Amino acid sequence: MTKPRVWLPTSFAEAWACKQAFGDSACYVAGSTWLQLRAASGDAVPSEWICVDDIADEDRAPVEADDALQVGLRVTLAEAIRSSAVRRRWPHLHQMCRFVGAPALREQATLIGNLAAQGDLVPYLLVSQASLLAWNEGAMEEKSVSEWLNSRDTAADVLITRLNIPKESERVRYFVRKVGRRAGFQPALVTIAASLEVDDACTVGALRVAVGGGAHWPHRLPKVEALARGERLRPSLLRELHHMIQSEMWTYDDAFATSEYRRVVVANLVTAFVASALEEG
């Protein structure tokens, strides 16, 4: 790889203007861990790196405000893990951050970089209904993470400035799991997040399920979610969910696992999570 030229804008507007000026030859850079991994794997990466490090007034730690966690574009995974607010009120985000890479990498890698690289955090962000603020055409836009994923191809110049992650509710059960080939760092075979709201009569208020990790395009499973909504938890519903997860999930074959294996793993784990609510009453 030829050495990239590094740009150090001091404001969102300047960073965005820089991206406009260089177009596809430029990209935003946070911790640069993903970009360096791509370069080391022989993938083409842009030659102009617009680094977000010097942008003024940006917090390095996540901030709790109005029942949401605000994560700026310089917040690293390690800072999120060290935050006592995240540990206490976003315990599943805390767990997910620890699933990414090794400790040294997490000191450098950011949450927003992980989102933009469609990393392991995205299923959790989809299930928790996180939103983001992005600088585009001289103005700030707010979008859900899911809307942003769907508009990605047309919004390549957009600078993500902040993630807003709603507080985990005590009335909601959460499930997160990165499925890999062995304990040390490996890209995920698949990463899963789910949340479930049930009332005292075991009727489902809402089930949310998202998959991602590895080479998956992170996505929710709306048919699975609709199948459970308003239904009483019962063994026949669990069987239907198991079947629907396998038919709705988009996945792929590679040298390490077949698509069928990935589908069965996700169906088993999500169904077991839903079943645990039935067992616990």
Q: Which residues contact ligand FAD by CB under 6 A?
A: 27-35, 37, 52, 73, 100-101, 105, 108-110, 112-114, 116-117, 119-120, 159-160, 185
Of 29 and 233, CB closest to ligand FAD? 29
DSSP 23: G
Residue 34: CB minimum distance to ligand FAD, A: 3
Of 154 and 236, CB closest to ligand FAD? 154
Residue 28: CB minimum distance to ligand FAD, A: 4
State whether the Cα torsion 78-118-25-41 is positive or negative: positive
Beta-sheet strand order (sheet of 190-198): 173-179, 190-198, 204-212, 219-220
Q: Quote the CA–CA distance of 63 and 69 in Å, as a whole number.
A: 6
Residue 157: CB minimum distance to ligand FAD, A: 9
SS3 186: coil
> Tokens representing 16?
């965005």
> Are 206 and 185 a contacting pair, CB within 8 Å?
no
Of 100 and 241, CB closest to ligand FAD? 100
Taking CB atoms, the residue at the shortest distance from ligand FAD is 113
Residue 149: CB minimum distance to ligand FAD, A: 13
Residue 185: CB minimum distance to ligand FAD, A: 5
Of 15 and 198, CB closest to ligand FAD? 15
Rg (CA), the chain: 19
Q: Quote the CA–CA distance of 179 and 257 in Å, as a whole number.
A: 11
